[in-house]
Amino acid sequence: MALNLDYSFLTADVVRHNIVPGFEYALQLTLVSAGGGIVLGTFVALMRLSSIPFLRRFATVYVDALRSIPLLMVILWFFLLIPPGFFAAIAGDFGLAHRPEFSAVITFTIFEAAYYSEIMRAGIQSVSRGQVMAGYAVGMTYSQCMRLVVLPQAFRNMLPVLLTQTIVLFQDTSLVYAIGAYDLLKGFQTAGSIYNRTNEMVLLAAVVYFILSFSLSMLVRRLQAKIQIIR
């Protein structure tokens, strides 16, 4: 009936050897694919709003396709389809030894770009048309107008939403168990299975994810309040 929890096995050594590497990877995965995803997503959003039908259609298919497949399946697909030689080419033996980890970074960048692009699209559309016209009127090219007038404002308007999506991305990194990458959850699971303390580690994982996501979302909320005042 009662839950007998025993955390005495959890020494600094266990944390350092099993959990910290997983945490570092989850952090790297989040930051790299958030950065890459936002850049790629911005391009996809621009394509989606472009006047060239082919680009528009391509972006629509890209976003709709990725948004209707479970992330777990996308992770499997990329791991299956990216040839091992690719990882050897970008990171040598280290890349080959860490195929799941590298594959997940590529997957998350491309997958999250679909979600970030929808946010950036809303951001770009939130900038009034008059600004674009004013940009063209003073002789700016399309790229200057986007780079110097529209995107900075779109980015600032959407910053809280982009960050919220990044918190979701951080939580989604736990799904890399599909290909066995060593992330935060895997770190807890490994420690739990070595010392036969699954329950303790699952609960601790929940607490750590909760504290990180909750405090980050609190920060985003404060940022949002601040930005609202500026606008």
Q: Which residues bind another protein (CB under 8 A)?
A: 1-3, 68-73, 76-77, 80-81, 171-172, 174-175, 177-178, 185, 198-199, 202-203, 205-206, 209-210, 213-214, 217
Nearest residue (CB) to another protein, 2 versus 12: 2
Helices 151-172 and 20-48 sit at what angle, rounded to 10 degrees? 140
DSSP string covering 153-216, please? HHHHHHHHHHHHHHHHHHHHGGGGGGGT---HHHHHHHHHHHTT-HHHHHHHHHHHHHHHHHHH
CB distance 31 to 163 below 8 Å = no
Nearest residue (CB) to another protein, 2 versus 52: 2
Nearest distance, CB of residue 145 and another protein, angstroms: 29
Nearest residue (CB) to another protein, 101 versus 172: 172
Nearest residue (CB) to another protein, 5 versus 133: 5
Nearest distance, CB of residue 60 and another protein, angstroms: 15
| Single-letter code of the amino acid located at 40 | L
Closest CA to 66 of 77, 74, 58: 74
